[in-house]
Structure 1
Amino acid sequence: MNFARLKLRHLQCLVMVAQERNLVRAAKALALTQPAVSKTVAELEDIVGRQLLLRRRRGVELTPAAEVLVRHAVAALRGLREGFGLALDQPERDQVSVAVGALPNMAANLLPAAIAALHAAAPALRVRVASGTNAQLMTQLRQGEIDLVLGRIAQASAMADLAFEQLYSEPLLLAVRPGHPLAAQPRLALEALAPFPMVVPVSGTLIRHTVDAFLLSQGMAPPRCQVETTDTSFALGLLQRTDAVWFAPQGAVEGHLARGELARLAIDTASTEGAVGLTMRRTGEVGEGARLLIEAIRGVLRLRAAPAAPQRAVAPRRPRSASAAGTAGTRAA
């Protein structure tokens, strides 16, 4: 093996391909073309002297040699990032910080509430929020770019060396704009959605698998017109301008539903319920900033789960009779 030929991009490319198990998706995540990714992997195979990828119809598989190399590449990349972070942050080494990856169902509601509570208690804390697909955030977590991920649990194949703590579970909902032709109907069959465009999660994500499985279990063919996105702002903008139906995580839309900015369709989606929680690296303790954020998240959830304090009923005062008032006055005298 010729280490002199090894570049950082070779390791970054291999780790992303291992995470996505698909050259096209890996190229998109790296902001490269698919031929560029294939060329980089081929260069690495030549450097190592071993085949690293097995091409399949629906993606790629890692060879045993690649599995070993990926584990060490992840550790090496994480070590480099931590080293650069320490070097660059020397003037501010005493300042506590945290980097969190947030899926759309968290970025819209729970995480802002937790960070607001956290800044009230620790105003000097630096917080960086990263967004992306579950797979992209898990890669950043492994590489040490972020400290934790808040959202739905990832696929089992993506959870190696990671730990998940469930906070609660939530279903996907079908949301539309107020005034949508289906919004006022008290009961709907899934077939009623067929004429309308459907906004769904990006292909290849776990949440998209949940949507596809739900539609398949209900005997519904894939929507004729669909838009794939994980961008909540884009989905909201599209719903405001069209009659599209959004298959969205409850956490991403519950605030908009409560404010009347969206309407929920009367279709039972309970079977789409999934675990939501914290994903962290198995090895090593979380930093002080991550610990404070986790405590804030749990605190927000405790407040939401606490029953509202019942208001004590105040009995109306009875008007006193003239004789009672006179007796009271005599006693006072």
Structure 2
Amino acid sequence: MSPARTPRDLELRHLRCFLAIAEERNITRAAARLGLTQPAASRTLATLEGTLGVRLVDRSTHHLTLTPEGDTFRVRAAAAVTAFEDALDVGRAGSRPLRLGHSWSAAGRFTTPLLRRWRRDHPGVPLELLRHDDRTAGLADGSTDAALLRGPVEAPGLVAVTLFTEHRVAAVPSDSPLAERTGLSLADLAPHPVALNPVAGTTTLTLWPAAARPTRALTVANTDDWLAVIAADRAVGVTSAATPGMHPHPGVAFVPLTDAPPLPVSLAWPDRTTHPALPALVRLAQEITAEA
């Protein structure tokens, strides 16, 4: 009888396989991406779960999802893989780009000052601004080192500091009578279908009082599709005040909302971060937003 495996027996391939499955939400696609057979990927995942003693993936539904333990482990596995790659990349250890993710609108009006100040103060470390259409803007799978996130930061394994808050605005078709108003309330939007982005957006129907919620919603996958359905007069939407400046659209008018709570904007990063320049980014982001 072979001895029981311990976490020390795990290899980098186990983590890479799990991260691919977590991103693809499909074992067959993850296996193809890694150059493995589907049974081999399944065995690798089973070995990882058996060694850790927890289920990381829920296979009980039609769509593969991560368990709460899987969500937590995803952040830590991504940090471990990044740390390993950094350790091997000795020649670039001091100059690897610092990858800053966002789902949309980045840091709003602070985006350009942040990028310019960073380039001036840290010329040896490029700051890459990367858009990811997911809730953690690339942090969950290790695609980014830090991220600008709107709304509550609830993903496990992340640390966050709130930089500032933004007012919310209504997004309506530019030829709608609503576009002629100087201000709108949530009640003004309730009779219309509302475009919602559950992948990376912050608006849900719970923004409205229970007795006055919209009865129709249109789900989209990203900001571009969100703008398109509003411009096509299929829905209205709610977003942050940064969106008009970062994503102007000729078919969409943005009108201030008078009764919606402000939206917090945070800088977040994994609690086991590996990029040595991250503390400098946190300090600079706080300095720039505090100067406004």
Q: TM-score, normalised by structure 2?
A: 0.69
Residue 238 of structure 2: aligned partner: 247
Q: 2:16 aligns with which of 12, 18, 30?
A: 12
Residue 146 of structure 2: aligned partner: 148
The residue correspondences of 1:13-162 to structure 2 (distance < 5 A) are 13-15=17-19, 26-27=23-24, 32=29, 42-48=42-48, 49=50, 52=55, 53-55=57-59, 60=65, 62=67, 73-84=77-88, 86-87=89-90, 90=91, 95=95, 97-106=97-106, 108-132=108-132, 133-140=134-141, 143=142, 145-152=143-150, 155-156=153-154, 158-160=155-157, 162=158
Partner Cα separation in structure 1 for residue 247 and residue 259 of structure 2 = 18
8 A contact 1:172–1:249 mirrored in 2: yes
Partner Cα separation in structure 1 for residue 73 and residue 253 of structure 2 = 49
Specify the SS of the correspondent of 2:212.
Answer: coil
Partner Cα separation in structure 1 for residue 79 and residue 87 of structure 2 = 12
Q: 2:288 aligns with which of 272, 286, 300?
A: 300
Partner Cα separation in structure 2 for residue 10 and residue 123 of structure 1 = 36
Specify the SS of the correspondent of 1:101.
Answer: strand
Partner Cα separation in structure 2 for residue 29 and residue 172 of structure 1 = 36
User: Which protein has the bigger helix share?
Assistant: 1
The one-letter amino acid of 1:251's match is: A
Q: What is the CA-CA distance between 1:114 and the residue it aligns to?
A: 0.9
Q: What is the CA-CA distance between 1:237 and the residue it aligns to?
A: 5.5
**1:44-88 deviations in whole A, cap 9, x for unaligned?**
354355672445569756497x6897677445423333234x24x
Specify the SS of the correspondent of 1:43.
Answer: helix
Specify the SS of the correspondent of 1:183.
Answer: helix
Q: What is the CA-CA distance between 1:104 and the residue it aligns to?
A: 1.0
Partner Cα separation in structure 1 for residue 212 and residue 123 of structure 2 = 52
Q: What is the CA-CA distance between 1:115 and the residue it aligns to?
A: 0.3
Partner Cα separation in structure 2 for residue 241 and residue 67 of structure 1 = 36
Partner Cα separation in structure 2 for residue 129 and residue 30 of structure 1 = 30
Partner Cα separation in structure 2 for residue 215 and residue 39 of structure 1 = 47
Partner Cα separation in structure 2 for residue 83 and residue 198 of structure 1 = 47
Partner Cα separation in structure 1 for residue 246 and residue 71 of structure 2 = 42
- With over 3 angstroms needed to count, the CA separation of the structure-2 counterparts of 1:180 and 1:14, relative to structure 1, is same
Aligned residues: 278
The residue correspondences of 1:93-242 to structure 2 (distance < 5 A) are 95=95, 97-106=97-106, 108-132=108-132, 133-140=134-141, 143=142, 145-152=143-150, 155-156=153-154, 158-160=155-157, 162-185=158-181, 188=184, 190=186, 192-193=188-189, 198-203=194-199, 205=200, 207-208=201-202, 210-215=203-208, 217=210, 219-224=212-217, 226-231=218-223, 233=224, 235-236=226-227, 239-240=230-231, 242=233
**1:135-188 deviations in whole A, cap 9, x for unaligned?**
352214xx4x433112225553x232x211111223442123544321123565
Q: What is the CA-CA distance between 1:303 and the residue it aligns to?
A: 3.4
Structure whose alpha-carbon radius of gyration is higher: 1
The one-letter amino acid of 1:183's match is: A
RMSD: 4.6
Q: Percent identity over the alignment?
A: 16
Q: TM-score, normalised by structure 1?
A: 0.62
Q: What is the CA-CA distance between 1:109 and the residue it aligns to?
A: 3.6
**1:16-56 deviations in whole A, cap 9, x for unaligned?**
666xxxxxxx4269993799999676323543556724455
